[in-house]
Structure 1
């Protein structure tokens, strides 16, 4: 536990000084950051410091101790409070408890009673910190496995981002640690011990959240002020090691390190995670620059195939990607963990998530099912097998069939545009689909509504007839499927900013 901070609020200077001296002498792990003579000074101090405890005299001029406790509880519910009172009044103590007061001391304060009350507060803080850490680790693990934005929002809320009034702006860093091949004794104890060492690597660190990301890989998200730079993190982490007896040694067993730059908001976790993962991959000995460029080209090509519903191309890209990962498991086994994480990260990237085509929807559903099947203990072999099964199990045949249906509908429109009775219902009967579904499918596949596509085909044919023949306007109207020459002329002018006769004159 890092240094704990408290303030003492009492209108008598002698009591404030006496309590401060006792705490410095008997409770050296606590720092009295300020002593205040009234509630207003205490509220000002609470905005300046991240306080763990306030010792409050119940009788003060102006706002009394109970009113101050109520105000502090509303503003800083995590702050613990101990009340000083000269009277053991049960109803007053009951009121204090409602305002988050965890203990009380009778004046004159006895040394042993003060130490015991503060120690009890320490235990409550430790219990709270353990529960908070476990909740954060659970949310981080869920986000890591699913890359789900809802989990990210829950993590942001649990970290209390946006509610801080104290000190400098908070920063975050992401760190990946890849331990040597064959070292699999990574569990919660390992994560806690490494987290303890990470807390000592910078003065401003407030929280370290760690999870076992894979059999030989740990992931940490670190929060605090004045985070070390990426290079500083790597320099400090390079001295970190872990031996088989469960104690730290210098420079052993740590194979690769991945660090992000510091970032200001937890919404940036995805980008920082990707950066740290990339650096770990590069640090493990891979030709990262070439690999990163290949992956960038693949994800762009995949996005284009998904957007245009080109199932064959999408499957070919994914299968080639999978084959490269499998090949790497033989040629560079130490890099396979990072490579699998990179693949999963790309599948959940914003570029893919933003595409609204049916093909992209199918892929997103399959990716969700993939991450839901992944166990918490992610060994490289398990992830590799899951990725292989995911790619081989993908099927876009439904979309290929849909593309054939739309192509057939387009052919029928080009063949029958002159039929004034041609409509969506008639075409739907020919392809055995409900008209509403065909309308949605047509728009999804072509980017145009059915009626807009039909009108476009008829207008193009009308231009050809006007250029190449002397047919009258009403005859052209009938030839392209319109029974009303006036309506035809209105549509033609809307499309080409010219009447049919004006177009003929200009065309000739």
Structure 2
């Protein structure tokens, strides 16, 4: 049996979802139906819920904030987000909060059943474990902000972990970024070849943490040397970057030891390809703000507006080189890359098909160099789009110029399309998109403007002669078209212009 709680500020939705869950399987029990995140926070622990399904948009505190708060408190409850928005940014933020699933409204019955079955399996596995699971306590110490955990809970976890010789003695952390992702069994097999006491965790998001015991006689560089050995023991199909932290002892040092190794792994990911292992080195805080990159974004934007696409490409290459030096956190890097790509979008006229490009996640790449190549391709694709649109704009301008010169001739769409090497249908669509009017309407406006000019400047011409010189061979049709465009007949217009 699993216990489920539902949070949604709309009563009809939360009660309806609760009924669906209980009808799905007698093994699913709804133990809480709450109207706000605040209520959920105050009542979740006493409810004993295994799964929390929460709406993403609620007043005061939304579902993502609720998930983040629960994780910061060390809660291990499984969380699913319920949303009416099929939006990548929402889904990405939900994944960062470690949610189990992201369900769209209206809830699909089969998707809900799969979620419940998956959580039921995980809960059953967790309940079948021994009461003391070092990995679970270690995960708690690493994933939660210790300042947010009640002191007695944190101290109890430290005391239990201190019972392990591995943690009571000297240890160091390794954090691995491995692609394809490494499962727990593969990691344990590789770690066993180091012939050291160890604890392995595959963390949410795919990162891997390995706690390694150290011995008397080991030196300051032992952890890094063991990391190099471990690298050679991984399957040949995998690519890895490894960071090692400092030497610590006791449960109270686990959080700091892990953060150091995580920072070192981050540096290893940014390092040149031949340097897959990095040891933690205390240093001034690296630039977390992408402000230094904005000057290159501004240069690229200015170059695009000036039509200098080569200059824009050079500015974006400099952006990539500068980003590699800054070694920003991945979340900051993605946002900065999106800002750079948006600079190219400003070079496009507002058209429905000009959607912002999808930004790949750094964690999907084994190293910075590979990620930088992907960004470079995205930037180049953006520049190609600008270039293509500029070419299309020139085609429209060519057609407009032709119509101004040949307004008295019969309109021939095929001839116009041949002039700019496009198909008639595509030219018609492009012209309407660029100018907001059809080619026919534009040609009529050119003819009417020419007729108005002749009526003002050539009083000796008869009205039908003005029509003929403007491209209208039928006097009656000319009068009708002129009045429709100006509200006056040609004669009335001429009389008013005197």
Under a length normalisation based on structure 2, what TM-score does the superposition of the two structures give? 0.45
Under a length normalisation based on structure 1, what TM-score does the superposition of the two structures give? 0.45
